[in-house]
Amino acid sequence: MKRLLVTGSAGLIGSEVVSHFAKRGWKVIGIDNNMRADFFGDGGDTQWNAKRLVAEHINYEHFEIDIRDRKSLEQFIERRKPNAIVHTAAQPSHDLAASRPYDDFDVNAVGTMNMLEATRKYSTQIPFVHMSTNKVYGDAPNNLNLIEKETRWDYADVEHFDGIKESFTIDQSKHSIFGASKVGADVMVQEYGRYFDMPTCCLRGGCLTGPNHSGVELHGFLSYLIKCNVIGKEYTIFGYKGKQVRDNIHSHDVSAFIECFLDSPRYGEVYNLGGGRDNSISILEAFKLIESISGKKMLYNYSDQNRSGDHICYISDLTKMKSHYSGWDITRDLKTTFQEIHDSWQYRLK
């Protein structure tokens, strides 16, 4: 039985990866110390998800290990001998990072370094997938020519119609403290792939979403927005007239791509992982879609102050992903994703 180690296994992507591979007969080993509860309070607590995974999958084991604990990680990986590693654990909020920069850097940059080196000491042959972020590009996408439409901002130039490519610059921009720590992790994952000939990849995620997301105001755009609609809470729009655009990818499609990479790994690769243009949506457009599903009016207020380093319009160009892995494509559209998140919040908030 193949063994997969998943960090951040109770989070959105981690838990989806656990279920995806457990259903395919892998022995899945998860590590997650529920630091989201520390970062975001009760709203970010993921213990419910960890318990769900243990109950649903007999071939899943859960361990509370802190990725900042270098020695424990090395011993754990050597003892468990995984055939592949998917590293999803992170401090995920660029807003929170500004108030807790040491914690942010220690988890995102140092924690990833600890994972890489522990993996290298164990084996340079096993695939290592790192969940990076599109925030490694900083606010440089805002320098593209943009056009304001009725409900969204969009790219004005035809060359960017399909979105941001992996060759886009990560330099000379404001990343947020979170973005900077993720740049450090991202580049180190690439370097271990190229320097040590390890099969590694960075998945520069846009808005990763799905029904198992514990979205909060500081992180989890769609999940939190839909939760606000379900409970009748006022949602705050931060700047850009509510026309800022994100492309959203369901966690199932993320897991499916990871499976493709593990089946045929490459070395030091980078992929922009998002929903692409077809799954792009602005905040105003998201309000309309959830209202059509729930039948409830979206309550919101507006702040002129946008979040520092925030993207006005970000769409991932999926060309490279599809060319390297032709069997992969987006399978969950926005309406399906919204419905699943809506139903999940209704169930959890009973």
Query: Residue 138: pLDDT above 90?
Result: yes
What pTM did the predictor assign? 0.95
Q: How far is CA 262 from CA 33, 83, 331, in A?
A: 25, 10, 19
Query: Residue 121: pLDDT above 90?
Result: yes
Question: Of the given ranges (33-37, 233-237, 317-321, 339-343), which has the lowest mean pLDDT?
Answer: 33-37
| Predicted local distance difference test score (pLDDT) of residue 201 | 98
| Predicted local distance difference test score (pLDDT) of residue 279 | 97
pLDDT digits (tens, 9 = 90+) for 170-215: 999 999 999 999 999 999 999 999 999 999 999 999 899 999 888 8
| Predicted local distance difference test score (pLDDT) of residue 45 | 87
Query: Residue 254: pLDDT above 90?
Result: yes
User: How many CB atoms neighbour CB 203 within 10 A?
Assistant: 28
What is the arithmetic mean of pLDDT over 122-144?
97
Question: CA torsion sign, 226 to 228 to 234 to 235?
Answer: negative
pLDDT confidence tier of residue 28, bands split at 50, 70 and 90:
very high
Query: Residue 218: pLDDT above 80?
Result: no
| Predicted local distance difference test score (pLDDT) of residue 220 | 81
What is the arithmetic mean of pLDDT over 275-280?
97
| Predicted local distance difference test score (pLDDT) of residue 260 | 98
pLDDT confidence tier of residue 43, bands split at 50, 70 and 90:
confident
- 148 — phi, psi (to 5°)? -90, 120
Q: What mean pLDDT is reported for the chain?
A: 96
User: How many CB atoms neighbour CB 104 within 10 A?
Assistant: 25
Q: How far is it, in rounded angstroms, from Cα 210 to Cα 42?
A: 19
| Predicted local distance difference test score (pLDDT) of residue 337 | 97
What is the arithmetic mean of pLDDT over 37-58?
91
Query: Residue 80: pLDDT above 80?
Result: yes
Side chain identity, residue 261: F
Q: How far is it, in rounded angstroms, from Cα 69 to Cα 77?
A: 12
Helix (H, G, I), strand (E, B) or coil at 60: strand
Helix (H, G, I), strand (E, B) or coil at 253: helix
Q: How far is CA 21 from CA 18, 98, 133, in A?
A: 6, 35, 23
| Domains (range + CATH), the chain | 3-348 (3.40.50.720)
What is the arithmetic mean of pLDDT over 239-260?
97
Task: Please answer whether residues 25 and 83 qualify as being in contact, where contact means their C-beta atoms are separated by less than 8 angstroms.
Answer: no
| Predicted local distance difference test score (pLDDT) of residue 261 | 98
Q: Which residue has the higher pLDDT, 45 or 17?
A: 17
* The two structure tokens encoding residue 181: 């720590």
pLDDT digits (tens, 9 = 90+) for 287-311: 999 999 999 999 999 999 998 878 9
Helical ranges in the chain per DSSP H: 12-22, 35-40, 47-56, 70-80, 94-99, 101-105, 111-122, 176-195, 221-231, 251-263, 283-294, 319-324, 334-348
Q: How far is it, in rounded angstroms, from Cα 273 to Cα 277?
A: 12
pLDDT digits (tens, 9 = 90+) for 159-180: 999 999 999 999 999 999 999 9
Query: Residue 219: pLDDT above 80?
Result: no
Q: Which residue has the higher pLDDT, 143 or 45?
A: 143
